[in-house]
Structure 1
Amino acid sequence: MRFDRYVISIIGLLLACDLYGQSETDLLVERLMEFVAEEQTEGFDFSELAERLEYYARHPIDLNRTDGSELQELQFIPQLFIDNLLDHRNRSGRFVSRYELQVIEGVDTELLRLIVPYVTVNAPNSLSGIRAHQLVNEGTHDLMVRYGRTLQRRRGYTITDTSRSRYLGTPDQLFVRYRYHFGRDLQVAFNMKKDAGEALFGEAQRGGFDFYSGSVYVRNQGMLKGLVVGDYALQFGQGLAMWNGLGFGKSSMVQGMARQSTGLRPYTSSNEVPFLRGAAATIAGGPFSVTPFVSKRRLDGSVSYTDGRLSIGSIGQTGLHRTPNEIANRGAVAQWVYGTNAQYEYRRFRIGATAYHTHFGAAIQPQDLLRNQYAFRGASLWNTSLYYNYSWQGIYLYGEAAHSIGSGFAFTNGMIASLHSHLSVALHYRNYQRDYHSFFNQGIAEGSVASNERGLYSGLVYHPSRAVEWVLYGDFFRFPWLRYRVDAPSQGVDLLTQFTYTWYKKADVSIRYRYRQREENASMELPHNRVVEVLRQQLRISGQYKISDAWRMRNRVELTHYRKEGDATEIGWMVYQDIIFKPMAGKLSGNARIALFGTPGYNSRIYAFENNVLYAYSFPLYHNDGIRTYLNLRYRFGRRMDVWLRFATFVYRGAEEVGSGLDTIEGNQRSDVRVQLRWQF
């Protein structure tokens, strides 16, 4: 048996150059960004995922030591395959090579190609027997400084009347990021950030940067599985009760319907909102683990006095502090969170429970509107949840039940099954009651939060060969109560089909069609609001072609159709061409795009992923008529220093101004520049 495994490893090693001739990290990040960004907002920060993938590319996961949690952090590995991997190790003994993965049930060439750069065997325990001077002399440091600016002047910087809303800072954007790693088990992270319009060492920001974030993370030290002091994120179950940071949802990656919870992680993103600040630890003994946590933060929010008592009208979600009003709301809301999670794991079965308490310095009092009848009111909330997952003979079952004490419940259950070596299906049911509340809720939903929604999702993936993949899903949902701009119970459907053909190592092409139907208030002036159907359709044809080891081409054509009773029908289009230059060896690399687009209005807008400087992936919207182009360049100064340069511009045809409100720019062009320096030592 051992001899056979060595033979398999040798064959895998011989195939390595063929399968992994160039780094797949950048390509994988681009692909995952496309999946995630389909359901995220334009300004969503993807740096957390990109940084995590690069970290594991530099510090591969030890297949002989992992309990599967690190593999979950990669996001693209199905839980069913992780369970099969652990079973294989239990039956056959330690891995002798990472290429032994090819004999595990559930792997295909594509998944193997993605996994191999992030795993290894027999990595040393980085903190065993380590002394203080070794931490200083042998650790790795990573310092990155990014500067950006919009070249045209926005209206908010031109206003001098102190009685009007205006930007108090400069249009410069500045981000400083520091990381220290000692092997795989010790990390120190620190971020400093200033957004455009915010002050720096002046005005309301006399302390320097507008946003500071930091953490110390230690893991895999005996029973101490993980410890974070500072800013951290928690991900448990399917995200109904407690989930911070990034999570997949509905997309052409059907397996993303089953959330891959990572438990406790340090928070390293530049996003200023969805995290906890304090301390948390995961302690494991045998099949049991427990994660106590405590957090205290000051959040942005609008506060006022009602009947002589302080109340909170809303909690800010942008993290921006540019205008007098935004600065007045900064840190106005005190938030305390404490609780614990407990989990039991036995082979392929996991069950866990979470309970935590959220308390604010004042009571939340939303506007007195009919749609807010079931909204949360008060200063404190207890949340509990119970979740599970289990895999058996090609079937993965998962679910979670959550309760906000004193109000409603939320439930979800799902299944991903491999019916055949070429066919997989996914089912997902959700029922979120209208009075269910959680301030850390990221369950899969059609709405913005997992509340006031019922839905049934069914997906299918068929790949008759390595070259062909067909994905199809349908999601049918209903909102039992009123929502923003929907003054009645409503319903809808989301359908997607995508066909992909891949010429091995050379090119791929995909055709996607998406149909979305929802209900909203009619736009027409009526004595009372009437709910009408809103229809959006998208057709996308995209592909990429590898010209050589250094050059790739990528292109896309996309059409959108929007229709709503009382509004003009909109048909939009966009076409782009990318050129990507990344030699195997060499100091200079880069990529460029030119895009043409035409959309009658915002409702027919189109989103498209863009390459950017490291950890700054973007997903801007294309609307109106115009041209979009950008150029990214990276130059490596030896092995320790890199510099990135970016220029990007929108030119709109026939426009007299760009943007709205304080962001308005006179003229028809908006151009942005970025410079980024990274030093590793």
Structure 2
Amino acid sequence: MPFNRYRYIALLSGFLWLSSVWAQTEEDLLIERLVELSAEDLAEDVDLSELQEQMEFYRNNPIDLNRTDGSEMQDLRFIPQLFIDNLIAHRERSGKFASVYELQAIEGLDVELLRMLTPYVTVVLPRSLANTGAKQLLNEGKHDLSVRYGRTLQQRRGYAIEDTSRSRYLGSPDQVLTRYRYHFGRDLRIALNMKKDAGEAFFSGAQRYGFDFYSGSVHIHDQGRLRDMVVGDYALQFGQGLAMWGGMSFGKSSSLQNLARQATGLRPYTSSSEVMFLRGAAATVALGRLAVTPFLSWRRLDGSVSYTAAGEAVVGTINQTGLHRTPTEVANRGALQQHVYGLNVQYRAGRLQVGTTTYHTGFDATVQPQDLLRNRYAFRGRSLWNTSLYYKHSWRGLHVFGETAHSIGSGFAFANGLIASLHPHLSLALHYRNYQRDYHSFFNQGLAEGSTAANERGFYSGLMYHPNRKIEWTAYADFFRFPWLRYRVDGPSHGVDLLTQFTYIWYKKANVSVRYRYRQRQENAALGLPEQTVAGVLRQQLRISGQYTLNAAWSLRSRLEYAQYQKEGVAAEMGWMMYQDVIYKPMGSRFSGNMRFALFGIPGYNSRIYAYENNVLYANSFSVYHNDGIRTYLNIRCRIARKMDIWFRYAAFMYRGIDQIGSGLDAITGSRRSDVNVLLRCQF
């Protein structure tokens, strides 16, 4: 049935009338800000639960200002490195903190940063697990168990196929995630994840042991010289991410402080994502000014393995989806063994930090990518050594950082930058990168325009002007070049990324921001020529957004966004999207929630628009808007008992003028897609 303006108005009025909407926590607001700034540079299926879990953990177990070395503050993502360095220098100069209110004496702390930081820090007396008995661990430890269920209500094509000779989904459309956490303060943490994706079998077929993915870890923190130890699944973050960086990372954004990677070293891996982590054991030991981290990992990866006439195992592609739904995906599951071992040594003296990482990655099959021209410099073989040297230093409002990485036998990668406070109200950020086309690393997440830190040169410059607590203006320009061929780009190419954003804040009442982004890149022309030529691609976006607090319980959030896509020789695409959120958090009520109503008119995927969405606990996400129609969702949280909560979410896309959503096995007949999520959480 076609849509018209009266149906839009009626639906919008109905949603605004609802009073059961979910409230945003401080974590939600901070995560939303981080994600919205770099949403277009993240994968569409990015898992944000790790970030939300970290922030919730530090809120319930605040960082001790007298024990931290700064790495925990880097976990929070919103604290500038300059302030972290100033805090540690203040503690070394003036002695231990007696109260969190001493933070006000530290240079670089404004009112807004103090407000955000206060819930996550404390001053406590240290304790040791060596003096803790099993009874105390059981009685004082905190347990957190949650089970999340989700499903798309419409049937996808892959579930309707019964012919066993065809590709199809082998399991049900149900999604199930079971998550258990135990923590004894910040000294001992145990994590366990069990996940089944939609389409995967459950206690049958290839998944006869139940869930498709199991992940767990035991983490011991700050016990004398033993700074950290993790057994199980873990991630390592060193330097600027050129050689070793696991877990989540953010790219360019209007927040200049994210330009410098804030490496946290060794950390337990608690995300439900099935890629970019290590499995084994690692520990960080403090030896005076040195911190030494040996690590060892062994795990199986998905890949399409074949054999040569001589019987040698060869893998053409290492899969990164973690999905095992079809016969082909199941056949590739765990086909490749990966072992990693190495050492990181880090030296710290005051504000200066210097470190080096060396590690080896090996496989039980030869990696042999397709024989394509763009793959001429891709990694080939079974063994790879990586090494890097990195640094960072702060001095009088200037923070410099960088890393040089080398894949032994092939290329180098360089990154250097600075963030400078030119004036109390003006900051400058600069970053230069040069990633050679034959540089290889299976764990690199350096700042890049491309998908990996390889085959790229670029220079970034940004400014932030903050004349008072009400006004903030940010702008950056990033010029980049790809010296060699890339996917869908059969020639050297270049581009530019420009962004400017103005924000006006009424303290604790409202804010409004205007953002414009201009991105120009090159890719293969769509002209059907005998030989591929490279054509320019231009994408422009204009966004106006705001949030207004009505009272202690109600707040509103709105956005209007326009996007234009233009490729040489192809007609331009112009799309728009607008949404209205209503957020409700009554003090002391068992119920809370939020809802969104969005309208969009976007002619194609090239002019798509991204928008962050609230979801049930640990399931934050952002959707991709394209075509014409309506997007709506409703989240409700109910506190069943003092330590038991249930979340419910219903979300739907209702498109106009189409009779199929998606393609292939994911295709849905019709113009509507509806999803439900339910999460039950118990704490004891």
Compute the TM-score of the two structures, normalised by the length of structure 1: 0.96
Contact 1:239–1:443 under 8 Å retained in 2? yes
The 1:201/1:34 distance shift into structure 2, 3 A limit, reads same
* Letter matched to residue 235 of structure 1: Q
Distance in 2 separating the partners of 1:235 and 1:650: 38
Give CA deviations for 1:113-172 in whole Å, capped at 9, x if unaligned.
111110011244263520111112221100000000000000000001111100000000
Contact 1:126–1:183 under 8 Å retained in 2? no
1:199 matched residue in structure 2: 201
| C-alpha deviation, 1:487, in angstroms | 0.6
Superposed, 1:32-47 pairs within 5 Å as 32-47=34-49
1:78 matched residue in structure 2: 80
2:477 matched residue in structure 1: 474
Q: Which residue of 623, 627, 632 maps to 1:629? A: 632
Contact 2:479–2:495 under 8 Å retained in 1? yes
* Letter matched to residue 586 of structure 1: S
1:616 matched residue in structure 2: 619
Distance in 2 separating the partners of 1:638 and 1:173: 26
| C-alpha deviation, 1:31, in angstroms | 1.8
| C-alpha deviation, 1:91, in angstroms | 2.0
Contact 2:615–2:649 under 8 Å retained in 1? yes
**Higher relative contact order (Cα pairs below 8 Å, separated by 6+ residues):** 2
Give CA deviations for 1:479-522 in whole Å, capped at 9, x if unaligned.
00000011110000000000000001100000000000000000
Distance in 2 separating the partners of 1:571 and 1:236: 41
Superposed, 1:633-644 pairs within 5 Å as 633-644=636-647
* Letter matched to residue 29 of structure 1: I
* Letter matched to residue 279 of structure 1: A
Is 1:97 equivalent to 2:95 in the alignment? no
Is 1:278 equivalent to 2:272 in the alignment? no
Distance in 2 separating the partners of 1:35 and 1:134: 44
| C-alpha deviation, 1:39, in angstroms | 1.6
Superposed, 1:233-312 pairs within 5 Å as 233-308=235-310, 309-312=312-315
| Percent of aligned pairs with the same amino acid | 70
Distance in 1 separating the partners of 2:556 and 2:101: 30
Distance in 2 separating the partners of 1:128 and 1:357: 34
Contact 1:84–1:104 under 8 Å retained in 2? yes
Give CA deviations for 1:337-396 in whole Å, capped at 9, x if unaligned.
000100000000000000000000111111111111100000010000000000000000
Contact 1:25–1:57 under 8 Å retained in 2? no
* Letter matched to residue 358 of structure 2: A
Give CA deviations for 1:440-491 in whole Å, capped at 9, x if unaligned.
0100000000000000000100010100000000000000000001111000
> What SS does structure 2 have at the residue aligned with 1:96?
coil
Give CA deviations for 1:232-291 in whole Å, capped at 9, x if unaligned.
000000000000011122011111010000000000000001100000000001100100
> What SS does structure 1 have at the residue aligned with 2:149?
strand
Is 1:429 equivalent to 2:432 in the alignment? yes
Give CA deviations for 1:208-242 in whole Å, capped at 9, x if unaligned.
10000000000101110000000000000000000
| C-alpha deviation, 1:24, in angstroms | 2.6
Q: Which residue of 165, 170, 180 maps to 1:178? A: 180
Is 1:594 equivalent to 2:604 in the alignment? no
Higher mean displacement: 101-110 or 487-496: 101-110
Contact 1:335–1:361 under 8 Å retained in 2? yes
Distance in 2 separating the partners of 1:411 and 1:39: 21
* Letter matched to residue 562 of structure 2: L
Contact 1:387–1:399 under 8 Å retained in 2? yes
| C-alpha deviation, 1:655, in angstroms | 1.0
2:585 matched residue in structure 1: 582
* Letter matched to residue 524 of structure 2: N
* Letter matched to residue 473 of structure 2: W
Give CA deviations for 1:409-446 in whole Å, capped at 9, x if unaligned.
00000000000000000000000000000000100000
| C-alpha deviation, 1:103, in angstroms | 2.0
Contact 1:626–1:652 under 8 Å retained in 2? yes
Higher mean displacement: 306-315 or 49-58: 306-315
> What SS does structure 1 have at the residue aligned with 2:402?
strand
* Letter matched to residue 489 of structure 1: P
| C-alpha deviation, 1:99, in angstroms | 2.1
| C-alpha deviation, 1:32, in angstroms | 2.2
Is 1:571 equivalent to 2:562 in the alignment? no
1:407 matched residue in structure 2: 410
* Letter matched to residue 192 of structure 1: M
| C-alpha deviation, 1:36, in angstroms | 4.4
Distance in 2 separating the partners of 1:378 and 1:141: 45
Distance in 1 separating the partners of 2:128 and 2:540: 52
Runs of 4+ in structure 1 off by over 3 angstroms are none
* Letter matched to residue 45 of structure 1: D
2:551 matched residue in structure 1: 548
Is 1:129 equivalent to 2:131 in the alignment? yes
1:649 matched residue in structure 2: 652
Compute the TM-score of the two structures, normalised by the length of structure 2: 0.95
| C-alpha deviation, 1:173, in angstroms | 0.3
> What SS does structure 2 have at the residue aligned with 1:437?
coil
Distance in 1 separating the partners of 2:293 and 2:516: 43
The 1:286/1:608 distance shift into structure 2, 3 A limit, reads same
> What SS does structure 1 have at the residue aligned with 2:324?
coil
Distance in 1 separating the partners of 2:654 and 2:164: 32
Distance in 1 separating the partners of 2:71 and 2:254: 24
Give CA deviations for 1:291-318 in whole Å, capped at 9, x if unaligned.
0000000000111113332101000010
* Letter matched to residue 110 of structure 1: E
The 1:575/1:585 distance shift into structure 2, 3 A limit, reads same
Is 1:314 equivalent to 2:307 in the alignment? no
Distance in 2 separating the partners of 1:102 and 1:543: 29
Q: Which residue of 316, 330, 334 maps to 1:331? A: 334
* Letter matched to residue 84 of structure 2: I
Superposed, 1:59-78 pairs within 5 Å as 59-78=61-80
The 1:27/1:583 distance shift into structure 2, 3 A limit, reads farther
Give CA deviations for 1:537-591 in whole Å, capped at 9, x if unaligned.
0000000000011111001000000000122210000000000111232211100
> What SS does structure 1 have at the residue aligned with 2:467?
strand
2:27 matched residue in structure 1: 25
Q: Which residue of 509, 525, 530 maps to 1:527? A: 530
Distance in 1 separating the partners of 2:82 and 2:130: 32
2:371 matched residue in structure 1: 368
> What SS does structure 2 have at the residue aligned with 1:371?
helix
Unaligned runs of 5+ in 1: 1-21
Q: Which residue of 392, 395, 404 maps to 1:389? A: 392
* Letter matched to residue 492 of structure 1: G
Distance in 2 separating the partners of 1:327 and 1:234: 29
2:157 matched residue in structure 1: 155
* Letter matched to residue 403 of structure 1: H
Distance in 2 separating the partners of 1:177 and 1:158: 31
Distance in 2 separating the partners of 1:451 and 1:555: 38
Contact 2:81–2:257 under 8 Å retained in 1? no
> What SS does structure 1 have at the residue aligned with 2:532?
coil
* Letter matched to residue 597 of structure 1: F
Contact 1:126–1:184 under 8 Å retained in 2? no
* Letter matched to residue 486 of structure 1: V
Distance in 1 separating the partners of 2:472 and 2:104: 20
The 1:527/1:35 distance shift into structure 2, 3 A limit, reads same
* Letter matched to residue 134 of structure 2: A
Distance in 2 separating the partners of 1:255 and 1:249: 11
> What SS does structure 1 have at the residue aligned with 2:621?
coil
Contact 2:42–2:250 under 8 Å retained in 1? no
Contact 1:241–1:385 under 8 Å retained in 2? yes
Distance in 2 separating the partners of 1:94 and 1:273: 40
* Letter matched to residue 679 of structure 1: C
1:500 matched residue in structure 2: 503
The 1:567/1:23 distance shift into structure 2, 3 A limit, reads closer
RMSD: 1.0
